[in-house]
Amino acid sequence: MDIDSDDEIPTLIEHPTTARTAARVPLTIICGFLGAGKSTLLKRILTERHGYRIAVIMNEFGDTADIESKAVNVSSPDDPAAEESEEILELANGCLCCSIKDSGAAAIEKLMQRKGAFDHILLETTGLADPGPIASIFWHNEEFAAGLGRDIVLDGVVCVVDAFFGTQQMEEDHSGSEDHIGESLKQIAGSDVVLLNKVDLVSPETLATVESLIQRVNPAAPIHRTVRGDVDLAHIMGIKAFSAPPPSLTPVPVPVSAPTPHNHNHGHGDHCDHDHADARDPNHYELRGISSLQVSCPVLSPARFDALDAWIRSVLWENRIPDPSPSSATSTSTDAEGKGETELLVLRCKGLIAMETGERYVLQGVRSMYDMIQVDNDKEGKGQDEDIDIAVSQVGKIVLIGKGLSEDVRRSLINAISGV
Ligand SMILES: Nc1nc2c(ncn2[C@@H]2O[C@H](COP(=O)(O)OP(=O)(O)OP(=O)(O)O)[C@@H](O)[C@H]2O)c(=O)[nH]1
């Protein structure tokens, strides 16, 4: 990406706030461990009066007796669409429930025929699903962009984690193979928001432990504690994870006289009752083959921005850091020897990049696909304090989540952005 090139300058026609993009319905992917509480969350959304018009796409709503019985109540026997009620149900609170039993795309296409009847789509995945490939269907997919992509835009990925079994699941969900990353870790890695559910079942200590694990696997995702999926829907919908700066990467401005910042990336409500004794090195963490890496990003010149872009391409597309010197070479897929070292693989990357020219870019990546989208300082700071723009212009941050994110990778990234 060459930001100096005239070809790359965003055109006035395609500004993000134009009518074309505004008309698209946001879609949120809900993933999570088996039994973590995905269906409970969705049932709550489908049955409570919350004022949102949401279409929920569930895997097996045929098994969800209480939702079906409500649907029977709202279906009229002489309704010509009754035959279809097995696939799309209209619920009393204005939501729609759609089954995705057969072909996912067909279910969504059918749903989109009712566009206007809902403002948001929630898509539940199975407990074993890796959200990365699913997110890819709705992002950077040419077929999708030419078809459903005209009506739908990916808003974010939400992962429901079981507070009771979460730690155990993350520890166990890892086969003997060095290359295997457990699905539960992929789900946390691939998410933009984590709902830590079933907090009623655990002690504050257990809660702090599982929360700390999640945060170290995915430092970019805010964590919200929930009981039976009771969450303010604004935390999981309309988050614009693929176009707006991640809130957890947005530095909070601190008054000069303030004490040492209480550096919280996660947003579990307004309280903070757990201790932070477990807050180890926040820049690098590895659990069962998956690791995360955070690097502060200085204000970049256009040349450094290009170097960062080239670095990301090399890491995401070729699974290697660019031109590693023999002493700093990280074992990669091209390393024939590979003796015991971990292959470099980025499952997710996020970042906020400030330019000398005053522009800000959001980096958002899912596996080999990524975007660096320019953020409109005035319009995209939704719900944020205006002062934050000042702080953001001074420093950015890059977070990588995946495998083999060694010290060499960090050094190489720092070199790329600092020009060393
Ligand atoms: N105590 C307690 N139980 C919960 C909570 N949330 C869900 N449950 C229960 O946990 C069980 C599993 O919840 P589900 O919502 O079916 O979980 P799921 O993620 O949809 O499960 P799969 O579809 O099998 O992956 C159910 O018996 C729920 O009633 C919670 O916050 N606290």
Q: For position 310, what pLDDT does the model report? A: 95
What is each CA distance from 235 to 59, 187, 240, 257, in whole angstroms?
Answer: 23, 18, 11, 31
pLDDT tens-place string over residues 175-185: 555 566 778 88
Mean pLDDT, all residues of the chain: 73
Residue 383 Rama label (left phi>0; alpha psi -120 to 50; beta): left
Q: For position 335, what pLDDT does the model report? A: 40
User: Is 51 in the same domain as 97?
Assistant: yes
CA distance 164 to 200: 9
Query: What is the arrangement of strands in the sheet containing 25-32, beginning at the earlier edge strand?
Result: 88-90, 96-99, 54-58, 120-124, 25-32, 152-162, 193-197, 223-225
Contact present, 244 and 375 (Cβ < 8 Å): yes
The atom of ligand 1 lying closest to the CA of 59 is 23
Q: Which residues of 141-168 are buried (b: 16+ CB within 10 A; e: fewer)?
A: beebeeebbebbbbbbbbbbbbbbbbbe
Is residue 275 pLDDT above 50, yes or no? no
Q: For position 9, what pLDDT does the model report? A: 42
Residue 372 φ then ψ, to 5°: -120, 100
User: Which residues form the domain of 77?
Assistant: 19-249
The Å distance, Cα 131 to ligand 1 centre, comes to: 19
Contact present, 165 and 126 (Cβ < 8 Å): no
Query: From the centroid of its chain, how far is CA 378?
Result: 23
Domain end point (choices 198, 233, 249): 249
Local structure of 28: helix, strand or coil? strand
Q: What residues contact 261, with CB distance under 8 A and at least 6 apart?
A: 252, 254
Contact present, 142 and 111 (Cβ < 8 Å): no
User: Is 23 in the same domain as 126?
Assistant: yes
Q: Which of 16-30, 66-80, 185-199 has the highest mean pLDDT?
A: 185-199
Kindly state whether residue 339 falls inside one of the protein's structural domains: yes
The Å distance, Cα 69 to ligand 1 centre, comes to: 20
Give 21 or 38, the one with higher predicted confidence.
Answer: 38
Give 14 or 205, the one with higher predicted confidence.
Answer: 205
Residue whose CA is at the smallest distance from ligand 1 atom 29: 40
User: Is 173 in the same domain as 48?
Assistant: yes
Give 79 or 245, the one with higher predicted confidence.
Answer: 245
Give me the CATH number covering residue 39: 3.40.50.300
Domain count, the chain: 2
Q: What residues contact 184, with CB distance under 8 A and at least 6 apart?
A: 33, 161, 166, 169, 170, 173
pLDDT tens-place string over residues 56-73: 887 654 444 344 333 333
Give 200 or 375, the one with higher predicted confidence.
Answer: 200
225 lines ligand 1 (CB under 6 A): no
pLDDT tens-place string over residues 33-52: 888 999 899 988 988 888 89
Percent of the chain with pLDDT over 70: 65
pLDDT tens-place string over residues 401-416: 888 898 999 999 999 9
Residue whose CA is at the smallest distance from ligand 1 atom 2: 198
The Å distance, Cα 198 to ligand 1 centre, comes to: 8
User: Is 317 in the same domain as 232?
Assistant: no
Give 45 or 140, the one with higher predicted confidence.
Answer: 45
Q: For position 222, what pLDDT does the model report? A: 94
The Å distance, Cα 64 to ligand 1 centre, comes to: 13
37 lines ligand 1 (CB under 6 A): yes
363 lines ligand 1 (CB under 6 A): no
The atom of ligand 1 lying closest to the CA of 40 is 15
Give me the CATH number covering residue 342: 3.30.1220.10
Which run of H or E residues covers position 121?
A: strand 120-124
Residue 392 φ then ψ, to 5°: -65, -35
351 lines ligand 1 (CB under 6 A): no
35 lines ligand 1 (CB under 6 A): yes
Q: Which of 13-17, 150-154, 156-160 has the highest mean pLDDT?
A: 156-160
The Å distance, Cα 37 to ligand 1 centre, comes to: 4
101 lines ligand 1 (CB under 6 A): no
Q: Of the given ranges (155-159, 196-200, 280-284), which has the lowest mean pLDDT? A: 280-284
Read off the pLDDT band of 348 (50, 70, 90): confident
Kindly state whether residue 408 falls inside one of the protein's structural domains: yes
Is residue 148 pLDDT above 60, yes or no? yes
Please give the average per-residue pLDDT across 191-216, as a whole number. 94
40 lines ligand 1 (CB under 6 A): yes
64 lines ligand 1 (CB under 6 A): no
CA count, 13 A, side-chain hemisphere, 242? 25
Q: For position 304, what pLDDT does the model report? A: 95
User: Is 36 in the same domain as 161?
Assistant: yes
The Å distance, Cα 205 to ligand 1 centre, comes to: 21
User: Is 244 in the same domain as 351?
Assistant: no
pTM (whole model) above 0.80: no
